[in-house]
């Protein structure tokens, strides 16, 4: 098995490269980006020592699927997907906020609520809810888009406007897009027997002023899904909801004494464990999209990517 843990390409017209936690982003000329979804996997803000074969392909193809399925709501950055792990698209100036939207009281929102706080990012959460209950209507809880190595932080709509991080006209549009995308995502999830619990969207602006959706959308790395079947029963009994996300990786780390804290060591990732994570990501793909996953040829992974990207760039 081969995993793409880091890429070091030099594409025609390349001007810059940025290695993120999971994605490697190559700037081409002034106006295009080549985004490569690596097989790196992170948890607790730590990149784990081994890559997961096919993880990059899963994330790239899920994102591509949902970008196409929502392009009638908001234009997006994608131009083409010339390789299973690559998306080529427009370069946009990112807004310095991430639009997080929550349909249910889960994760960070629940931890805040559990601690007695009823306001998150300036939004009031109603009394009387328990973990994983649905909100009366989805709430938008933005975060700052942090520089490399720093954590994103909660921020309210009022602070975003007061600090002029985003203009009011643009922010109103971002909210409209966020709600419409989430509604579409929930509808598509429901067709697959899933509940889209919460997610985040990132937007940018093209030189002509057009707001576009950028980065990934509705992937298990950026979203939380529950299974519809048994949801109500589990809620009534106070049981944990069955999730479709990379939560199983976090749970494995916790069980083996790692939560990203100082002095803790990442447990050994055996070949059996790596294979199991790869299989789980493929299951995620098939459940979320309803399509069969076709494993790409890994025999010459780097050569394949290089050839496909160069060919695509010639035709753009």
Residues 187-226: tens digit of each pLDDT? 999 999 999 999 999 999 999 999 999 999 999 888 999 9
pLDDT, tens digit, 9 for 90 and up, residues 156-177: 999 999 999 999 999 999 999 9
Higher pLDDT, residue 254 or 187: 187
Say if 151 falls within a structural domain. yes
Say how far apart CA 212 and CA 20 lie, in whole Å: 21
Same domain, 190 and 282: no
- Helix locations, 231-295, DSSP H: 231-237, 247-255, 271-289
Mean of all residue pLDDT scores within the chain: 94
The predicted structure's pLDDT at residue 148: 55
Q: What is the CATH number of the domain that holds 235?
A: 3.30.470.20
- When divided into structural domains, the chain yields a total of 2
What is the CATH classification number for the domain harbouring 22?
A: 3.30.200.20
Q: What's this model's pTM, rounded to 2 decimal places?
A: 0.92
Based on the domain organization, do 201 and 295 belong to the same domain? no
Band (151; pLDDT cuts 50, 70, 90): low
264 part of a folded domain: no
Domain that holds residue 145: 94-244
pLDDT in tens, 87-146: 999 999 999 999 999 999 998 999 999 999 999 999 999 999 999 999 999 999 999 986
The predicted pLDDT at position 150 comes to 55
Q: Is 251 helix (H, G, I), strand (E, B) or coil?
A: helix
d(CA 214, CA 291): 23
Helices marked H in the chain — which ranges? Answer: 55-69, 107-114, 157-162, 168-191, 231-237, 247-255, 271-289, 301-314
| Residues in contact with 309: Cβ distance below 8 Å, sequence separation at least 6, in sequence order | 9, 11, 34, 82, 83, 86, 88
Is there a domain that residue 263 lies in? Answer: no
The pLDDT assigned to 226 comes to 95
């Amino acid at each position: 098995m081969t995993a793409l843990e880091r890429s070091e390409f030099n594409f025609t017209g390349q001007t810059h490269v940025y290695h993120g936690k999971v994605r490697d982003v190559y700037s081409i000329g002034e106006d295009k980006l080549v985004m490569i979804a690596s097989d790196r996997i992170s948890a607790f803000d730590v990149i784990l020592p081994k890559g997961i074969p096919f993880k990059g392909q899963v994330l790239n193809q899920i994102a591509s699927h949902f970008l196409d399925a929502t392009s009638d709501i908001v234009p997006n950055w994608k131009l083409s997907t010339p390789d299973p792990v690559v998306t080529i698209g427009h370069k946009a100036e990112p807004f310095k906020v991430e639009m997080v939207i929550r349909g249910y009281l889960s994760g960070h929102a629940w931890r805040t609520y559990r601690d007695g706080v009823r306001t998150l990012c300036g939004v009031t959460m109603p009394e009387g809810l328990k973990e994983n209950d649905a909100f009366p209507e989805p709430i938008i809880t933005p975060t700052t888009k942090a520089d490399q190595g720093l954590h994103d932080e909660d921020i309210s709509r009022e602070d975003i406007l007061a600090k002029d991080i985003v203009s009011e006209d643009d922010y109103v549009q971002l909210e409209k897009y966020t709600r419409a995308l989430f509604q579409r995502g929930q509808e598509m999830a429901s067709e697959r027997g899933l509940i889209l619990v919460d997610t985040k969207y990132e937007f940018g602006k093209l030189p002509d002023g057009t707001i576009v959706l950028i980065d990934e959308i509705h992937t298990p790395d950026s979203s939380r899904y529950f299974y519809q079947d048994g949801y109500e029963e589990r809620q009534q009994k106070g049981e944990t909801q069955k999730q479709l996300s990379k939560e199983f990786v976090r749970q494995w780390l916790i069980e083996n004494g790692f939560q990203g804290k100082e002095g803790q060591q990442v447990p050994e990732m055996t070949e059996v464990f790596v294979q199991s994570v790869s299989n789980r990501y493929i299951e995620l793909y098939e459940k979320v999209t309803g399509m069969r996953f076709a494993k790409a040829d890994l025999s010459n992974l780097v050569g394949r990517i290089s050839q496909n990207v160069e060919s695509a760039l010639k035709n753009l």
